[in-house]
Amino acid sequence: MPDLLIELFSEEIPARMQRRAARDLKKMVTDGLVDAGLTYASAAEFSTPRRLALTVEGVLAASPTTVEERKGPRADAPQKAIEGFLRGAGVTRDQLEERETPKGAVFFARIEKTGRPAADIIAEVLEHAVRNFPWPKSMRWGTGALRWVRPLHSILCILGDEAGTEVVPLEIDGIAAADRTAGHRFHAADRFSVTSFEDYVSKLKRAFVLLDPAERADAIWHDATNLAFANGLEVVEDRDLLAEVAGLVEWPVVLMGQIGDDFLGLPPEVLQTSMKEHQKFFSVRNPKTGRIERFITVANRETADVGATILAGNEKVLSARLADAKFFWDNDLRTIEAVGLEGMAKPLAQVTFHNKLGTQAERIVRIEALAREIAPLVGAKPDLAAEAARIAKADLTSEMVYEFPELQGLMGRYYAQAAGHDDGVPQACEEHYAPLGPSDGVPTAPVSVAVALADKIDTLTGFWAIDEKPTGSKDPFALRRAALGVIRIVLENQLTASLTGFIKKAGGLVAENSEGAADPTAGHYAADLLSFLHDRLKVYLRDQGVRHDIIDACIAMPGNDDLTLLVKRARALAEVLQTDDGENLIQGFKRANNILTQAEAADGVEYSYGADVKFAETDAERALFEALDRAEAAITPAMKAEEFGKAMAAMAALRAPIDAFFETVKINADNATVRRNRLNLLSRITRLCTSVADLTRIEG
Amino acid sequence: MSDSIQVPKSFQEIILRLQTYWAEKGCAVLQPYDMEVGAGTFHPATTLRSLGTQPWAAAYVQPSRRPTDGRYGENPNRLQHYYQYQVVIKPSPPDLQELYLGSLMAIGVDMSLHDIRFVEDDWESPTLGAWGLGWEVWCDGMEVSQFTYFQQVGGHDCHPVSGELTYGLERLAMYILGVDHVMDMPFNDPQTPIALTYGDIFKQTEEEYARWNFDTADTEVLLRHFEEAETHCREILDAPHEDPKTGKRIIMVHPAYDQCIKASHVFNLLDARGVISVTERQAYIGRVRALAKACADAFVQTSAGGWQPESAA
């Protein structure tokens, strides 16, 4: 069976898109082949900066001929219906067969699909793939209308077996498929023909192209670590960078360069950021001192001077960049020495945070007041939390952060240390932005927690106050992220506090800085913001496997603005619902609730009080009374002590007596007193159960 | 190959070699536009001529001004006034990358010793309402050029697509000439009797403009200029297409576009003076973009923009 080889050769494809594109090519082509009846044994995709390649082995030489019988309209159907059927089935009138069925004479069409040679199918499938390729961004070039990520230059598409290889005839907007490709842009630019995948890979290698990105990454990592090791150093691992660099070269050549002595005193993160973001360099560390001392760059070619010119150029570029960084660092330290961090933060009075929410400086005052309030609850000294809040954003005015925005917070820590702050304050400067995403770490140091929470609550409250809430996919102020931050900080630190209290406090502060903000006490936005936090909590807990109805049942209970308590309740409920008793109790509860609601609707009264054991007529009834007394005696103190597990267990113990009650007792007794007493008993069940969680919201 | 490559001796030699190279490749070698602009792209030879269907090939040096980048001539590579070399060809030829690499060889970059890379960089000009895809070109880790396939200009899709090359001349020349500080770079041949460095010519002007840009430019006057340029641009475009004097169809796109350029530069000056807040910034950029769009709309109504009388109906 033949093998297929495809290569789409273009100008340089962005590194971040290559692997995904190669996978998309594989999926589009193999799916297309299979849909057309061409099965295959195996397929593999590859990419370099200038090409996407796909090899498909063991493809059927032709798709099999298939026969399908399709039932049509009755023989006496209107002409229009018959014509429609003919069109749909792609047959003519004389090809129809009339058959007697229990419903009368009916037309049948026999549709035979003749198998087609693989090359025809491949040509169609590949053309479709090229014309509909899901590039994140694509473009036109020259006078053409074809879109590709960058100009597409050639298509290699060959189908071969033992007997020989043929080019699959195919032309897309003037680009005819052939069996030719080109090697490395500078080492081996001439085009050459290939006969098979093996031939393709080996000829490319001779033409200075390693086709497989994994092989390039391995080669880079291997050479980089060896080079560092030989100098008694180690490469700082960075998988994203490795993948990116492997997408920037076809023929990786690893070179190690020097960082000027002047710059070795810069914070290692500054060195790393400069080198990685701008130059795509790996950092090389001295394992003894932990300092970054050299860099690794990956060139795309070999040279007669063994990379000396390339390395000298790269060192020069790095020096210029680091000279800038050092200039900023020195200037910033000078500023701090002169005016301190609070002085450095002064220009924030001129920076608008949002035109309805005042300046950054005003926001800092709010965060400080809020952090003071939060501090005692998280075990931080209020004065330290306030100090950290005042300086945490000072680095936004620093020259370093202006140049490298990704260093915000981190520079705050360095600068706070340099200014002599201590006791967790520098750490809070760095950590108060955290967590920045679902996988980012959550601060645990008390001062950091206080400022981080204050920052996020101020943001959320502020935007709620001016009614700038996220809608659909639009969340320009990253409020969902801030909400998730609040949730994770509270839960992971097991903080028990009323969020509504903080929101109202924050709202009062916002109202002082903003003319357009709603009054948090008069408006409903505090409740609305809390329900937004609940929605985000649901998403967060759902990802951890907690059912949404369980969370709803707990949100419906009082004290729901204490998220730690809320989650404790939800987890206890989830646990008890996993037991047999728990699950059956829900059924019993629902039955009780349904009967009660119907009776109340029918009778127009509320059965809520006065069930008395003296009207009980059966043992099961009396047993339920006893069980309820027992359960209540256990549940009430347990709830008070927030021991939800205990309360839930006591509730679950009601399952057997409730089941027995329903099995043997007729609620709607003829005696009106007995009936009323039984309905009141049901009401006791539902009231007791819903004192633990709102079980009416549990599904199933 | 390396034997045949002669390393240039001066900044101007690099410019002259680029001029010769692109002239040989068929470009009309134009002169700089006679107004203050932030980049070579603003030259109507690029913005306006990349619109419409008419073929185009031009190359030119464009003095460019970025007031906020002024450093009193002290920073080794930052200047408020610098030079860009700009090449624009429509439709973009299939071998544009090779043509570009040829130009690097022409100015003394030995391809067998250097590492040239095309690194993703999508270009967007919010003030021109323009975007394109392409790369920044790296030579040994240093960005030496921008390479862009224009997809849209002034809100119009580019059909055909223009290929645009922009060389940052000072940086590129410093690298080729092995100079560490721009002011030390030989402007003409250092062996001539009157040898001039870049600093001999521009150190003083950098100081003067830095002081003016940052501290003394009259912001009230500038704000008024901005408003006037904006109004004037609109008025020019609103004029009837038929010239009452000659009876000819004359749409005054270029005069209007001059006002757009002026507004853009005045905005840059106001920005350097620090009188534009973060929120206002976007609004100003939007106003300049609206002018650029209006000019683009008008240009495609002219013959240079591909308009033909019979298509008028």
What does the DSSP assignment read for chain B? -GGGPPPP-SHHHHHHHHHHHHHHTT-EEPPPPSS--SSGGGSTTTTTTTSSS--EEEEEEEEEE-GGG--TT-SSS--SEEEEEEEEEESPPTTHHHHHHHHHHHTT--TTTS-EEEEE--EEETTTTEEEEEEEEEETTEEEEEEEEEEEETTEEPSSPPEEEEEEHHHHHHHHHT-SSGGGSBSS-TTSTT--BHHHHHHHHHHHHHHIIIIIS-HHHHHHHHHHHHHHHHHHHHS-SB-TTT--B---HHHHHHHHHHHHHHHHHHHHTT-S-HHHHHHHHHHHHHHHHHHHHHHTTSTTTT--GGG--
For residue A543, tell me if it sits in a domain: no
Task: Give the model's pLDDT for residue A526.
Answer: 86
Residues A394 and A246 in one domain: no
Q: Which of A613-617, A641-645, B169-173 has the highest mean pLDDT?
A: B169-173
Q: Are A451 and A389 in contact, with CB atoms under 8 Å apart?
A: yes
Task: Give the model's pLDDT for residue A475.
Answer: 86
For residue A557, tell me if it sits in a domain: no
Task: Give the model's pLDDT for residue B4.
Answer: 57
Task: Give the model's pLDDT for residue B278.
Answer: 67
| pLDDT tens digits, A56-72 | 999 999 999 988 888 88
User: A150 — contact with chain B (CB < 8 Å)?
Assistant: yes
Task: Check which CATH number belongs to the domain holding A610 and give it.
Answer: 1.10.730.10
Digitized pLDDT (tens) for each residue of chain B, 313 residues in all: 444 578 999 999 999 999 999 999 999 999 999 999 999 999 999 999 999 999 999 999 999 999 988 989 988 888 999 999 999 999 999 999 999 999 999 999 999 999 999 999 989 999 999 999 999 999 999 999 999 999 999 999 999 999 999 999 999 999 999 998 999 999 999 999 999 999 999 999 999 999 999 999 999 999 999 999 999 999 999 999 999 999 999 999 999 999 999 999 999 999 888 888 766 788 899 999 999 999 999 999 999 998 988 754 4
Using CA atoms, how far residue A420 sits from A180, A448, A455, B50, in Å, is 67, 17, 23, 57
Confidence of residue A98 (pLDDT cuts 50, 70, 90): confident
| pLDDT tens digits, A153-198 | 999 999 999 889 999 999 999 999 999 999 999 999 899 999 999 9
Query: Is cis: bond before B91, omega within 30 of 0?
Result: yes
Closest by Cα among A434, A391, A381, A443 to A413: A391
Q: Are A210 and A201 in contact, with CB atoms under 8 Å apart?
A: no
Single out the residue in A206, A234, A250 at which a domain terminates.
A206
Number of domains in chain A: 5
Residues A507 and A456 in one domain: yes
User: A666 — contact with chain B (CB < 8 Å)?
Assistant: no
Residues of chain B with CATH 1.20.58.180: 218-307
Chain B closest CA to A138's CA: distance in Å? Answer: 8
Average model confidence (pLDDT) for chain A?
91
Chain B closest CA to A199's CA: distance in Å? Answer: 27
> Rounded to an integer, what distance in angstroms lies between the CA atom of residue A232 and that of residue A280?
22
- State the residue for tokens 């936004």: A396
Q: Are A124 and A132 in contact, with CB atoms under 8 Å apart?
A: no
> Can you say whether residue B33 is alpha, beta or left, with left for phi > 0 and alpha for psi between -120 and 50 degrees?
beta
Interface test with B, best of A9, A10, A12 (most B CBs within 10 A): A12
Q: Does the structure show a pLDDT above 70 at A522? A: no
For residue A385, tell me if it sits in a domain: yes
> Rounded to an integer, what distance in angstroms lies between the CA atom of residue A519 and that of residue A512?
10
Q: Are B307 and B301 in contact, with CB atoms under 8 Å apart?
A: yes
Using CA atoms, how far residue B196 sits from B11, B65, B184, B187, B201, in Å, is 10, 22, 9, 6, 7
A314–B141: do the CB atoms touch at under 8 Å?
A: yes
Q: How far apart are the first and last CA of chain B?
A: 58
Sequence-distant (≥ 6) Cβ neighbours of residue A130 within 8 angstroms: A8, A146, A148, A152, A155, A172
For residue A97, tell me if it sits in a domain: yes
Residues A177 and A199 in one domain: yes
CB contacts, 8 Å: B173 with chain A: none
Residues A198 and A161 in one domain: yes
For residue A276, tell me if it sits in a domain: yes
Out of B92, B142, B161, whose CB is closest to A313?
B142
| Alpha-carbon torsion, ordered B8, B11, B12, B17, to 10 deg | 40
Q: Which domain holds residue A635?
A: 574-697
Using CA atoms, how far residue A80 sits from A86, A90, A158, in Å, is 10, 15, 47
Angle at A478 between CA A472 and CA A482, to 5 degrees: 115
Residues A233 and A281 in one domain: yes
Q: How far apart are the first and last CA of chain A?
A: 54
**How many CB atoms within 10 Å of residue A672?**
8
Query: Is cis: bond before B94, omega within 30 of 0?
Result: no
Which A-chain residues 303-362 have CB contacts (< 8 A) with chain B? 303-305, 309-310, 312-314, 316-318, 320, 323, 351-352, 355
> Rounded to an integer, what distance in angstroms lies between the CA atom of residue A451 and that of residue A443?
10
> Rounded to an integer, what distance in angstroms lies between the CA atom of residue B192 and that of residue A542?
77
CATH of B2-211, one of 2.40.30.20, 3.20.20.80, 3.40.50.300, 3.30.930.10: 3.30.930.10
For chain A, percent of residues with pLDDT exceeding 70: 99
Query: Is cis: bond before A435, omega within 30 of 0?
Result: yes
Sequence-distant (≥ 6) Cβ neighbours of residue B118 within 8 angstroms: A11, A12, A49, B97, B135, B137, B138, B147
Q: Name residue A104's beta-bridge partners.
A: A101
Q: Are B124 and B131 in contact, with CB atoms under 8 Å apart?
A: yes
Out of A139, A142, A305, whose CB is closest to B133?
A139
Residues A172 and A121 in one domain: yes
Q: What tokens were used for A43?
A: 């397929």
- State the residue for tokens 């306006």: B48
Single out the residue in A185, A206, A227 at which a domain terminates.
A206
Chain B: residue whose CA lies nearest to A50:
B118
For residue A548, tell me if it sits in a domain: no
A313–B117: do the CB atoms touch at under 8 Å?
A: no
**How many CB atoms within 10 Å of residue B54?**
13
**Element at A52 (helix H, strand E):** strand A51-57
Confidence of residue A520 (pLDDT cuts 50, 70, 90): low
> Rounded to an integer, what distance in angstroms lies between the CA atom of residue A392 and that of residue A385?
10
Residues A82 and A164 in one domain: no
Task: Give the model's pLDDT for residue A358.
Answer: 85
Q: Does the structure show a pLDDT above 90 at A113? A: no
Q: What tokens were used for A628?
A: 């309820």
Q: Are B170 and B97 in contact, with CB atoms under 8 Å apart?
A: no
Chain B closest CA to A184's CA: distance in Å? Answer: 12
| pLDDT tens digits, A394-414 | 999 998 998 888 899 999 999
> Rounded to an integer, what distance in angstroms lies between the CA atom of residue B233 and that of residue B129?
16
The CATH architecture one would assign to domain B218-307 is Up-down Bundle (1.20)
Task: Give the model's pLDDT for residue B313.
Answer: 45
Q: Report CA Rg, chain A.
A: 36
- What is the sign, positive or negative, of the torsion defined by CA atoms of A627, A633, A636, A637? negative
Chain B: residue whose CA lies nearest to A149:
B133
Confidence of residue A516 (pLDDT cuts 50, 70, 90): low
Q: Does the structure show a pLDDT above 70 at A523? A: no
Q: What tokens were used for A499?
A: 């969020």
Q: Name residue A154's beta-bridge partners.
A: A9
> Rounded to an integer, what distance in angstroms lies between the CA atom of residue B223 and that of residue B232?
14
B139–A312: do the CB atoms touch at under 8 Å?
A: no
Q: Are A575 and A648 in contact, with CB atoms under 8 Å apart?
A: yes
Out of A12, A150, A297, whose CB is closest to B141?
A297
Task: Give the model's pLDDT for residue A521.
Answer: 58
Q: Are B140 and B115 in contact, with CB atoms under 8 Å apart?
A: yes
Phi, psi (degrees; rounded to nearest 5) at A294: -140, 180
In single-letter form, the type of residue at position A376 comes to: P
Compute the average pLDDT of residues A499-506. 90
Out of A49, A301, A317, whose CB is closest to B142?
A317
In single-letter form, the type of residue at position B60 comes to: Y
Residues A431 and A378 in one domain: yes
| pLDDT tens digits, A282-315 | 999 999 998 999 999 999 999 999 999 999 999 9
Q: Does the structure show a pLDDT above 60 at A101? A: yes
Sequence-distant (≥ 6) Cβ neighbours of residue B98 within 8 angstroms: none
Single out the residue in A148, A181, A206 at which a domain terminates.
A206
> Can you say whether residue A532 is alpha, beta or left, with left for phi > 0 and alpha for psi between -120 and 50 degrees?
alpha
B132–A139: do the CB atoms touch at under 8 Å?
A: yes
For chain A, percent of residues with pLDDT exceeding 90: 59
Phi, psi (degrees; rounded to nearest 5) at A436: -90, -15
CB contacts, 8 Å: B122 with chain A: 137
Residues A185 and A76 in one domain: no
> Rounded to an integer, what distance in angstroms lies between the CA atom of residue B285 and that of residue B270?
12
Residues A142 and A170 in one domain: yes
> Rounded to an integer, what distance in angstroms lies between the CA atom of residue B154 and that of residue A268?
44
Q: What tokens were used for A642?
A: 């927030």
Residues A56 and A158 in one domain: yes
- State the residue for tokens 């230059």: A153
Interface test with B, best of A18, A141, A251 (most B CBs within 10 A): A141
> Rounded to an integer, what distance in angstroms lies between the CA atom of residue B220 and that of residue B214?
14
> Rounded to an integer, what distance in angstroms lies between the CA atom of residue B201 and that of residue B11?
12
Task: Give the model's pLDDT for residue A487.
Answer: 95
Task: Tally the C-alpha atoms within 13 A of residue B65's C-alpha that lie toward its C-beta.
Answer: 22
Full DSSP string of A573-629: HHHHHTSHHHHHHHHHHHHHHHHHHHHHHHHTS---S---GGG--SHHHHHHHHHHH
Residues A450 and A582 in one domain: no
| pLDDT tens digits, A454-487 | 999 999 999 998 888 898 878 888 899 999 999 9
